[in-house]
Structure 1
Amino acid sequence: MALTSIKTSGDKIEIVNQLLLPHTTEFIEIDTIEQAHDAIKSMKIRGAPAIASLAALTVASHLSRALQADPAPEWLSSPQLLDPYITAQLDFLYTARPTAVNLGAATRRLKHTLRTGVEQGKDASAIAQDLIQEGREIDAEDVSRNKRMSKWGGEWLIEQVKAKGKSPESLNVMTVCNTGSLATSGYGTALGLITYLHETRKLSRAFFTQSTPYHQGSRLTALELLTLKIPATMLCDSMVGSLFQHNDIHAVVVGADRIARNGDTANKVGTYNAAVLASRHNIPFIVVAPVSTVDLDIADGTAIPIEQRPALEARLVRGAVYPFTLNAQGVKEQATVMVTPEDLEGVYNPSFDVTPAELISAIVTEKGVAVKADGASGFDLSSIV
């Protein structure tokens, strides 16, 4: 069974606290928009599609509960009061993690539904119902599109390997960060492609970086691959070049938090390093992400805002105490330790870097695969958006 980042039952929303994985699986109930904002900002939930789903589902749940309340909140008494109230909530949610364009796309979709309802003269309750339906659809559509893009990307890679006169029956693929079910509503993007290759018996081994300083690879991707029983090997971020020198790696596949119009891609910091090394070793570098990740409003990666995380996060490591110790509930004890000098002041801690389109071989969405025209440094994404 695959892991899941979000569980819903009616208006009840629960998320797995990814800060405690892989040693403790704890689901947290999200009852308010403020709790959703905190969960996204603190990275209890992360992954561009997953945080968009949580934001949309939380707004839907908030509205559903308001419709059932007696008395109903004042902001639900008219479209004129509903409009500014919901707009402010959506704007607040967007501030949680601004680099991930999926979150902005989800809030824009809900704003469009809100404006349409007001312009059509619907009453506040009818507009709220429309928003509830739209919010739940944003979440529901994620799994099916992930499976489509994984198949598109997997088949494209198989054809590339065949074109080089090699057998596509035993592929080695490397990935960065975590892009599976924990980062989405299910199946995953780049990790979904790896899963597709495994399911079709084309995969020999998946390689994944630790993805420091937050260790999404060693904590989360490792857990997902073990759960799916996919043969896998972890490597430190600084070992990518060595891996490429001494192993036959057929592709690097990564997700994206934002893709500019020319194909420049923001993803977990360390992705750019992997792309440079892949280019040096003539290894295809594939970006797998939903259409909602493509931001056609920005020409290139220079316009992508890069989130700077708190310096303390890069100085701390959390995990299970080793040798393992169980608490009274039979759960492994965890601890947070500082790995730097206490008085260290200078810390550079961007959450993302931008990989230039010229280093990317293909960009895959649920609508297909885009490649660059001969001699072009950037992509024409019109066919896959």
Structure 2
Amino acid sequence: MAETLTSIQLSDDKIQIVNQLVLPHTTEWLVIDTIEQAHDAIRSMKIRGAPAIGSLAALAFSQHLARALRSSPPPDFLSSPEALKAHVSQKLDFLFTARPTAVNLGAATRRLARTLQTSSDAGKDARKIAEDLVEDGKQIAAEDVGRNKAMAKWGGDWLVELVKGNGASGDGLNVLTVCNTGSLATSGYGTALGLITHLHETGKLGRAYFTQTAPYHQGSRLTALELKTLQIPSTMIVDTMVGSLFQHHSIHAVAVGADRIARNGDTANKIGTYNAAVLAARHNIPFIVVAPITTVDLDVADGSGIPIEHRPPLEACIVRGALYPPSLDQQGNKAQAAIMIPPEGLDGIYNPSFDVTPAELITAIVTEKGVAVKGSDGRFDLSNVV
């Protein structure tokens, strides 16, 4: 079961991803052999989570160039730095189109573009430039786990001290999260779910609460699986139960991830996050955003400049899961089905994948460099955490 908590597996030249569309009932590993397959996996949400898709894009790109370097005869794009630059730029531009809201994908492609330029400016030949790009792509993925553990500790320890400062013990903390921000959304450990894991590991967590996160149900399918596997006490709620939860239970914080954070602290995250933030503000519950530096986009002044991905309308109409009572298919897996909920032919279906939470509703923004809170002017200064 523990292997299902890994979004990407690497073995020499082989890249595999766990198909998150069929979790938690079936563990299916998909081989990623080309940049086009990586693009499709990201676009179709077979892999999701801003850090994870950035890692997959970088690894698929590295795989593509590594194979070119080993091929005989070599492809034409290795004939000169100019030919390589044209080829690489086209591939990076293509990868970037897979999902527009998650800034980590753009951060990965921009970093590789900078490596391309730096190596070219140094006068290296095409093969050496390609070797530099291969190593940098691998490094993008390798860096993720360490920074996730760092931000989880920063955020978890900050919350404990905040609660203590309000006169409580700092023990038995109950934290609500939205969507899935654990190992399945990253290269390991997780961001907001990493904060919850850190609290559990240090004996400070009471219970984790998580929303189902419709329409894709990343909470009920993926977060539930991770928390169950890690044996973290948890309770699932329907998205529309957040207000009721806050009314009737002691919740010490809401911790969420982010797909993009604007310069002023406005944050795009999975649809439903804004709802939770508004309700948290009503109940004076701290609202914490946990995300890597690569998610902060200082080129975007505020949330109005964040592109919001709209998914196909059909995805809001269909629920996929295991048949109940359970039955097994010929491979011994639980049989699954896709179920259409509304009547066909509806005139309008609104299906944004993300919403934007205004900075005024956010208590703290946590990265691997530390915790940012608002100053006396009520504004975030993110310069110390990026």
Task: Identify whether the pair has TM-score above 0.5, normalized to the shorter chain.
Answer: yes
Superposed displacement of residue 169, structure 1: 1.2
CA–CA distance in structure 2, aligned partners of residues 352 and 241 of structure 1: 20
- Equivalent residue letter for 2:351: N
What does residue range 131-280 of structure 1 map to in structure 2 within 5 Å? 131-280=133-282
CA–CA distance in structure 2, aligned partners of residues 286 and 161 of structure 1: 13
**2:82 alignment partner in structure 1:** 80
CA–CA distance in structure 2, aligned partners of residues 92 and 101 of structure 1: 15
Superposed displacement of residue 345, structure 1: 2.4
CA–CA distance in structure 2, aligned partners of residues 185 and 169 of structure 1: 29
- Equivalent residue letter for 2:336: Q
Superposed CA RMSD in Å reads 0.7
- Equivalent residue letter for 2:160: I
CA–CA distance in structure 1, aligned partners of residues 10 and 213 of structure 2: 29
**2:383 alignment partner in structure 1:** 382
- Which deviates more from structure 2 when the two are superposed, residues 185-194 or residues 340-349? 340-349
Question: What secondary structure, in the 3-state scheme, does the structure 1 residue paired with 2:143 have?
Answer: helix
Structure 1 residue 352 corresponds to structure 2 residue 354: yes
With the length of structure 1 as denominator, give the TM-score of the two structures: 0.99
- Equivalent residue letter for 1:320: A
CA–CA distance in structure 2, aligned partners of residues 329 and 310 of structure 1: 31
Superposed displacement of residue 71, structure 1: 1.1
Cα deviation code 1:78-98 (max 9, x no counterpart): 111000101100000000001
Which of 293, 296, 304 pairs up with 1:294? 296
**1:371 alignment partner in structure 2:** 373
Superposed displacement of residue 16, structure 1: 0.2
Question: What secondary structure, in the 3-state scheme, does the structure 2 residue paired with 1:81 have?
Answer: helix
Cα deviation code 1:39-90 (max 9, x no counterpart): 0000000000000000000010111111111111111111110001011000
CA–CA distance in structure 2, aligned partners of residues 105 and 71 of structure 1: 33
Superposed displacement of residue 20, structure 1: 0.4
Superposed displacement of residue 120, structure 1: 1.3
CA–CA distance in structure 2, aligned partners of residues 118 and 169 of structure 1: 54
What does residue range 16-55 of structure 1 map to in structure 2 within 5 Å? 16-55=18-57
**1:105 alignment partner in structure 2:** 107
Which of 56, 59, 64 pairs up with 1:57? 59
Superposed displacement of residue 28, structure 1: 0.2
CA–CA distance in structure 2, aligned partners of residues 50 and 25 of structure 1: 17
- Equivalent residue letter for 1:195: T
Superposed displacement of residue 168, structure 1: 1.1
Percent of matched pairs sharing the same residue: 71
CA–CA distance in structure 2, aligned partners of residues 309 and 189 of structure 1: 24
Return 5+ residue gaps in structure 1 as ranges.
none
CA–CA distance in structure 1, aligned partners of residues 377 and 240 of structure 2: 31
Superposed displacement of residue 375, structure 1: 3.6
CA–CA distance in structure 2, aligned partners of residues 9 and 62 of structure 1: 15
Superposed displacement of residue 119, structure 1: 1.3
Return 5+ residue gaps in structure 2 as ranges.
none
- Equivalent residue letter for 1:142: D
**1:361 alignment partner in structure 2:** 363
Cα deviation code 1:172-199 (max 9, x no counterpart): 0000000000000000000000000000
Cα deviation code 1:333-364 (max 9, x no counterpart): 11001001012121000000000000000000
- Equivalent residue letter for 2:382: L
Question: What secondary structure, in the 3-state scheme, does the structure 1 residue paired with 2:331 have?
Answer: coil
With the length of structure 2 as denominator, give the TM-score of the two structures: 0.99
Question: What secondary structure, in the 3-state scheme, does the structure 1 residue paired with 2:269 have?
Answer: strand
CA–CA distance in structure 1, aligned partners of residues 199 and 38 of structure 2: 34
Aligned residues: 384
**2:7 alignment partner in structure 1:** 5
Question: What secondary structure, in the 3-state scheme, does the structure 1 residue paired with 2:203 have?
Answer: coil
**1:306 alignment partner in structure 2:** 308
Cα deviation code 1:320-344 (max 9, x no counterpart): 0111010121111110010010121
CA–CA distance in structure 2, aligned partners of residues 72 and 122 of structure 1: 17
